[in-house]
């Protein structure tokens, strides 16, 4: 019984105590001791002291008048330590109001018995649960006294608390696992549900579960199967395990699994005890898994790739079913990859590395090798694989995918051949241009050579003086070195233009590239009476490119400008070269002439191979120039100038380190 509720009780240890006390307090006073009375008192004291029940006598103020030795010992005290103290001292603070209420009730209802359950606190602070039987009676002098007999129910309370805790754990576990429990008496149809079962079926707790009510909740398509399963189990007295759907009040579908075991009750009747689990999430996960598997199966079956599996010895054990395409080689089962590839002997280092990776059981990606399709034609295959293991970590083999990359390889080979052809053509163009610039180059070399001879003569003259003028001779030698270096630079630039070499991408100063190109065509401009005006911005960021190729582009544009002004006689022949940066982080270099310009029809076709406006041109120069600039990530365009002539503009990206 919970604290706070008092009730009357029948015969008990307290009534025995009351009877004994009554004999004492109702005895008539005598002048001499009565032998019977003395014997009754003695018997009462024996009962009071040695009965294994805690006895307390409390006055109306709540003071302990007497307590038996057993009762005091149960609380860790001696009787003398409790007598004279408030009885409230052996109760917890939060229970004392209830104790006062119970004592008041007893005092108000004399000769009526009351009982309650409550905690007491031992001397060491531990808890003692008791069931108290109390009754108020009157003394001989008419004063009331409350007699209390306490039974130790601590073990029972602990068992009840443990049971409640276990039930709470079970309810929590059922809620977490979405599993409820049920009982079903087949003979009577009586059904009992746990709280979680009510939640799964979405019925109010307390609703009496009945078979018609359950069938109403079960999906119409599953009702007959459920009735057959449960009916057969009841007839055969066997366990059952089945799944079915529920239609919830909001129309949603819930999947459940019911498992039950048959057993017999005390009367020998068959009953089933089982569980019902909400498996909706599992069913949804299975559906998504099936959809995912089907989706990837569709991908695999419609892809041109084929999937493979090898065993621990690296021999092919499986090929995807749709690998009946022409590209997939035939007869691969039982072979290793190096048995399949005809280039295994031609590239031993590649295959040694691949076999080492396989033996190390590590993934590999994008291994490309040659093979043959089903018709025996050579193909290129790219494959990637990943090792797989069993639950104990034992290596089982590899799984992976193969792709026919023949078209891509052939395309790369064609592009490489095209790049080589373009490079060869660019080289031929540079050599041709050098042939056209022979006079300018000779002039650029003759000038420093003539200066070298003159300075050498002067040096001899200074040395032949008496005394020799060593200071002047040293100055002449220094000039000789400067002129020799200048001639050497010209020759180096010419050799670089003529040399057939690979692309060398380095950070470059665009203004330096412009000046070097102009230096090589200086004589050509002079012979055609062309002046050059260079408007080069200072402190420009660097670009990233190949010096020789960019010089080739500039020389080609400058030579085209010189030729465009060949028939100009009514104005100065001026070529303008400008450099600068754009607002979007790019380098601009433009070459403008003051010739007769380019028609709109010609501009559209200007950079097409073999298109030329010259009578003797091949039509490849500007096409090669645009290819070079685009290979540098830039653009080359042409447009009529505002007044007269044409402007060719180069746009190149800045060097990354400069822009970061």
Query: Is residue 658 one of the residues assigned to a domain?
Result: yes
Query: Is residue 614 one of the residues assigned to a domain?
Result: yes
Higher pLDDT, 10 or 278: 278
Query: Is residue 528 one of the residues assigned to a domain?
Result: yes
Does 361 lie in the same domain as 261?
Answer: no
Query: Would you list the DSSP string of 153-187?
Result: -HHHHHHHHHHHHHHHHHHHHHHHHTEEEEEEETT
Query: Is residue 572 one of the residues assigned to a domain?
Result: yes
Higher pLDDT, 63 or 616: 63
pLDDT tops 70 at residue 3: no
pLDDT value of residue 1:
41
What tokens appear for 398 in the block? 């590899």
CATH number of the CATH domain containing 213: 3.30.450.20
Domain's final residue, options 358, 379, 404: 404
pLDDT value of residue 87:
93
pLDDT tens digits along 588-635: 999 999 888 877 777 776 766 655 555 455 555 777 788 888 888 888
Does 263 lie in the same domain as 193?
Answer: yes
Does 325 lie in the same domain as 270?
Answer: no
pLDDT value of residue 241:
93
Between CA 349 and CA 559 the distance in angstroms is 51
CA atoms 262, 264, 269, 271: torsion sign: negative
Cβ atoms of 196 and 180 closer than 8 Å: yes
Does 323 lie in the same domain as 243?
Answer: no
Does 169 lie in the same domain as 21?
Answer: no
Q: How confident is the model at residue 64 (pLDDT cuts 50, 70, 90)?
A: very high
Between CA 527 and CA 180 the distance in angstroms is 105
Between CA 335 and CA 341 the distance in angstroms is 10
pLDDT value of residue 617:
52
Query: Is residue 248 one of the residues assigned to a domain?
Result: yes
Does 113 lie in the same domain as 35?
Answer: yes
Does 648 lie in the same domain as 525?
Answer: yes
The pLDDT of 147-157, averaged and rounded, is 89
What average pLDDT does the chain have?
Answer: 80
Cα 134 from chain centroid (whole Å): 69
pTM over 0.75: no
Domain's final residue, options 284, 311, 340: 284
Query: Is residue 643 one of the residues assigned to a domain?
Result: yes
Does 307 lie in the same domain as 223?
Answer: no
What tokens appear for 205 in the block? 């707790």
- Please name which of 280, 289, 284, 175 lies closest in space to residue 219, comparing C-alpha atoms: 280
Query: Is residue 482 one of the residues assigned to a domain?
Result: no
First to last CA, the chain: 82
Residues with Cβ within 8 Å of 317's Cβ and at least 6 positions away in sequence, in order, are: 309, 310, 311, 333, 397
CATH number of the CATH domain containing 561: 3.30.565.10
Query: Is residue 337 one of the residues assigned to a domain?
Result: yes
Burial 123-141 (b: 16+ CB within 10 A, else e): eeeeebbbbbbbbbbeeee
Domain's final residue, options 284, 314, 336: 284
- Please name which of 500, 512, 609 lies closest in space to residue 551, comparing C-alpha atoms: 512
Between CA 329 and CA 325 the distance in angstroms is 9
pLDDT tops 90 at residue 439: no
Higher pLDDT, 553 or 241: 241
Does 278 lie in the same domain as 321?
Answer: no
Query: Would you list the DSSP string of 106-137?
Result: HHHSTT-EEEEEEEEE-TTS-EEEEEEEEEEE
Does 143 lie in the same domain as 242?
Answer: no
Of the spans 78-87, 534-543, 640-649, which averages the highest pLDDT? Answer: 78-87
Does 177 lie in the same domain as 105?
Answer: no
- Number of domains into which the chain is organized: 4
Does 141 lie in the same domain as 165?
Answer: no
pLDDT tens digits along 289-303: 888 888 776 666 666
Instruction: Give the three-state DSSP class for 647.
Output: strand
pLDDT tops 60 at residue 244: yes
Q: How confident is the model at residue 660 (pLDDT cuts 50, 70, 90)?
A: very low
The residue segments making up the domain with residue 519 are: 506-660
């Amino acid at each position: 019984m919970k604290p706070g509720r008092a009730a009357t009780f029948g015969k008990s240890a307290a009534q025995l105590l009351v009877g004994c006390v009554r004999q004492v307090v109702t005895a008539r006073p005598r002048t001499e001791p009565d032998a019977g009375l003395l014997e009754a008192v003695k018997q009462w004291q024996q009962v009071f002291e040695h009965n294994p029940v805690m006895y307390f006598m409390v006055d109306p103020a709540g003071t302990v008048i007497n307590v038996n030795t057993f009762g005091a010992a149960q609380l860790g005290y001696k009787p003398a330590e409790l007598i004279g103290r408030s009885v409230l001292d052996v109760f917890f603070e939060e229970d004392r109001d209830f104790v006062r209420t119970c004592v008041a009730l007893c005092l108000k209802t004399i000769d009526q018995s009351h009982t309650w359950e409550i905690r007491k606190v031992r001397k060491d602070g531990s808890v003692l649960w008791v069931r108290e039987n109390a009754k108020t009676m009157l003394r001989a002098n008419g004063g009331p006294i409350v007699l209390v007999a306490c039974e130790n129910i601590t073990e029972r309370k602990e068992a009840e608390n443990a049971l409640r805790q276990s039930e709470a754990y079970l309810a929590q576990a059922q809620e977490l696992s979405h599993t409820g429990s049920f009982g079903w008496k087949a003979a009577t149809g009586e059904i009992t549900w746990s709280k979680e079962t009510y939640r799964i079926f979405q019925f109010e707790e307390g609703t009496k579960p009945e078979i018609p009510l359950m069938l109403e909740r079960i999906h119409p398509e599953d009702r007959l199967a459920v009735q057959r399963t449960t009916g057969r189990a009841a007839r055969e007295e066997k366990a059952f395990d089945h799944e079915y759907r529920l239609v919830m009040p909001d129309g949603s579908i819930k999947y459940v699994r019911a498992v039950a075991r048959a057993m017999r009750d005390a009367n020998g009747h068959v009953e089933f005890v089982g569980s019902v689990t909400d498996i909706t999430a599992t069913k949804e996960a299975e559906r998504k898994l099936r959809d995912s598997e089907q989706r990837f199966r569709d991908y695999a079956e419609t892809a041109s790739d084929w999937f493979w599996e090898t065993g621990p010895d690296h021999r092919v054990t499986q090929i995807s079913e749709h690998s009946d395409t022409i590209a997939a080689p035939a007869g691969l089962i039982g072979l290793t990859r190096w048995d399949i590839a005809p280039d295994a002997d031609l590239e031993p280092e590649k295959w040694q590395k691949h076999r080492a990776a396989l033996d190390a059981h590590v993934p590999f990606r994008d291994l490309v090798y040659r093979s043959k399709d089903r018709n025996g034609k050579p193909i290129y295959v790219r494959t990637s694989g990943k090792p797989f293991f069993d639950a104990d970590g034992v290596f089982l083999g590899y799984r992976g995918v193969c792709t026919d990359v023949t078209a891509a390889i052939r395309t790369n080979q064609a592009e490489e051949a095209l790049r080589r052809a373009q490079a060869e053509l660019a080289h031929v163009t540079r050599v041709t241009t050098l042939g056209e610039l022979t006079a300018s180059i000779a002039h650029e070399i003759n000038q420093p050579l003539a200066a070298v001879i003159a300075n050498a003569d002067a040096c001899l003259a200074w040395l032949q003086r008496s005394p020799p003028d060593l200071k002047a001779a040293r100055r002449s030698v220094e000039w000789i070195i400067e002129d020799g270096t200048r001639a050497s630079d010209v020759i180096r630039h010419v050799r670089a233009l003529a040399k057939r070499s690979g692309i060398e991408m380095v950070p470059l100063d665009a203004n330096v590239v412009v000046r070097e190109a102009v230096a090589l065509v200086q004589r050509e401009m002079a012979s055609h009476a062309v002046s050059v005006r260079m408007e080069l911005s200072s402190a420009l960021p660097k670009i990233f490119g190949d010096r020789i190729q960019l010089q080739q582009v500039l020389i080609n544009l400058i030579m085209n400008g010189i030729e465009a002004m060949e028939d100009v006689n009514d104005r100065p022949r001026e070529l303008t070269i400008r450099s600068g940066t754009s607002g979007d982080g790019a380098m601009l270099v433009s070459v403008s002439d003051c010739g007769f310009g380019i028609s709109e029809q010609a501009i559209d076709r200007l950079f097409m191979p073999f298109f030329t406006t010259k009578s003797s041109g091949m039509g490849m120069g500007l096409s090669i120039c645009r290819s070079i600039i685009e290979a540098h990530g830039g653009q080359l365009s042409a447009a009529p100038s505002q007044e007269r002539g044409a402007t060719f503009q180069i746009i190149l990206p800045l060097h990354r380190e400069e822009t970061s």
